[in-house]
Amino acid sequence: MTYLALYRAWRPQSFADVTGQQHVTRTLQNALLQQKFSHAYLFSGPRGIGKTSIAKIFAKAINCKQEPLNEPCNECPSCRSITSGELLDVTEIDAASNRGVDEIRDLRDQVKYAPTEVDYKIYIIDEVHMLTNEAFNALLKTLEEPPKHVIFILATTEPHKLPLTIISRCQRFDLQRINHEDIVARLRFICDELNFEYEPAALELIASTAEGGLRDALSLLDQVLAFGDNRVIQEHVMQVTGSVNDKVLCDLMEQVADRNIPAALSVYDQAIRDGKDPKQFVKDLLYFCRDLLLVLLTPDISEVNQRGLLKKGFAEVAGKYSDQELMTMLEQVAKTDYEIKYINQPRVVVELLLIQMCRRDVARRDSDTMLEGLRKQVAQLEERIAKGVPVATQQVKDANRPKLSAGSQGSVQKDKLIEISKGNNIKVFDKIKGHWDEILEHVKREKVTLHAWLINGQPVAVYQTYIVIAFQNAIHRETSDQSANRQIVENVIQKMTAGKPFQIMNILMSEWNEAIAGTKDVSDEKNQENDSVKQAIEMFGEEFVVIKD
């Protein structure tokens, strides 16, 4: 006995057996109940999701005389001969191998004759987009004046390649990829029926790899069964597909969490030396990151529980990330997964991806400071425009170029800083400055890392209850400014000043220097403005310059 591939042996024979696609089968079954049929149907959608299976079930049900109307009985002579492909009135044509006008002309000649054994002649044309233009024209002529007893069912993975004149004459159905749970359920059903031993995780992995295609899932199940004498275990699925196992990915994501670039690269290197394919590696990493995010956001949902994600150390790894981090990384991995198909050096691209993932904060901070720089420049420009000062092209260019050292969120307005520098409480300030090393020492005892950030700054003023600390570097300022860190410094100072509560104001040294310069310049500002007006008049002529206060 020759072996029949699973996807053939388990091809659905009734609408009830079809996995997914209820939006299509329900409509077709209604048409059957009312016995009202179109002359042409178009089924479009990805490969291996049931287009031709549904077409054949529909063809059988149309010609079946038995009850119920909305399913084929699969028992009568008509049903049985359609299933076996022996009924001449129901013809399957593969347009990929019969592309020419001759085949379609033959078809045009044939459709004239009434069916011999059943009520309707039915033509199922698979991959119909492969037909030549001449063949399309011949088909169109038939569709324009179809004989009453003929029904066409066209199937295609690429509906956009069909002429609109054809599409407009068909009742169209878009079939969808089959969802993960439905594929797993079908695999489980078949394994149970055939008494195959299986690990649930193995079926999950097959379904993930098949990406919504049931035929691919069943072919893969076939290969796995052949590989491991009729047992379906995860290890075998991974060997057949070249997948990377969760243990490796867990290791990898732990190293990424620790921002340990050499260790992350070495996990990857080992996987490649074990014969894994970089492209498959990225695909597996994509699903792994998705699972981490699922565990983090919705640990209670059934998918997480069913797949035993919580057991395998997933939760522990997931807990090392914020949801925002995981989402950003998911985007990066998805982008690489897409691009890697077109790249000759996939291995290097994956290494780059891993480095980016390890350096995620650096990238974010850079873009944050850039944004903040831009924001400041725009504000300055708006101020100038509001004053009616013309903005020269060169200045616009400079404004577009972000200053990397510019301040960041939470910085203090310039006006406020000018006020502070004028009202500096010199007496208290001298005391704080005199004891600054001591304060740093106490902070170090509380939290070593904060001390490392804080030594980048120095006190520059005391104003009312504020102690102003100016930093050379935006990252140091930002980290020291986190409320928990600010609290530590404030507590230390409160202890040392015998209970007097101060608040810390963390700013950038560049902002402070600007503010000090500002106090000197205030009196000159009016003159500068007059100069600007003079320049503007020179550039544009007097009638174009309006001075607004």
What's the DSSP call for residue 371?
A: H
Burial profile 459-496: b = 16 or more Cβ within 10 angstroms, e = fewer: bbbbbeebbbbbbeebbbbbbbbeeebbebbeebbeee
Nearer to Zn ion, 76 or 475 (CB): 76
DSSP state letters, 253-315: HHHHHTT-HHHHHHHHHHHHHTT--HHHHHHHHHHHHHHHHHHHH-TTSHHHHHTTTTTTTHH
Least distance from C-beta 89 to Zn ion, angstroms? 14
Nearer to Zn ion, 64 or 93 (CB): 64
Least distance from C-beta 74 to Zn ion, angstroms? 6
Least distance from C-beta 37 to Zn ion, angstroms? 16
**In 3D, which of 330, 369, 5, 19 has the Cα closest to residue 182?**
19
User: Helix (H, G, I), strand (E, B), or coil: what is residue 403?
Assistant: coil
Contact 152, 121 (CB under 8 A): no
Least distance from C-beta 148 to Zn ion, angstroms? 22
Tokens 């690269």 found at: 265
Where would I find the beta strands (DSSP E) of 73-203? 90-94, 121-126, 150-156, 171-174, 197-198
Least distance from C-beta 92 to Zn ion, angstroms? 18
How far apart CA 257 and CA 260 sit, in angstroms, is 8
Least distance from C-beta 277 to Zn ion, angstroms? 47
User: Helix (H, G, I), strand (E, B), or coil: what is residue 132?
Assistant: coil
Residues touching Zn ion, count (CB under 5 A): 5
Nearer to Zn ion, 78 or 243 (CB): 78
What's the DSSP call for residue 341?
A: G
Residues 67-106 that bind Zn ion (CB under 5 A): 73, 76, 79
Least distance from C-beta 81 to Zn ion, angstroms? 10
Nearer to Zn ion, 81 or 421 (CB): 81
Least distance from C-beta 50 to Zn ion, angstroms? 20
Residues 6-65 that bind Zn ion (CB under 5 A): 64
Least distance from C-beta 23 to Zn ion, angstroms? 25
Contact 236, 228 (CB under 8 A): yes
Exposed/middle/buried for residue 95 (C-beta within 10 Å: 0-12, 13-18, 19+): buried
Least distance from C-beta 247 to Zn ion, angstroms? 52
Nearer to Zn ion, 76 or 167 (CB): 76
Contact 297, 289 (CB under 8 A): no
Nearer to Zn ion, 74 or 395 (CB): 74
Nearer to Zn ion, 14 or 137 (CB): 14
Nearer to Zn ion, 66 or 532 (CB): 66
Nearer to Zn ion, 68 or 501 (CB): 68
214: Cα separation from own chain's centroid: 23
How far apart CA 63 and CA 82 sit, in angstroms, is 9
Contact 174, 44 (CB under 8 A): yes
Q: Give just the sign of the alpha carbon dihedral 345, 350, 353, 355.
A: negative
* Window 343-382: contact mask with Zn ion (x via CB under 5 A): ----------------------------------------
Q: Give just the sign of the alpha carbon dihedral 153, 5, 196, 238.
A: negative
Structure tokens at 504: 């810390």
Q: Where are the alpha helices (DSSP H) in 211-245?
A: 214-227, 234-241
Q: What residue ranges bind Zn ion (CB under 5 A)?
A: 64, 66, 73, 76, 79
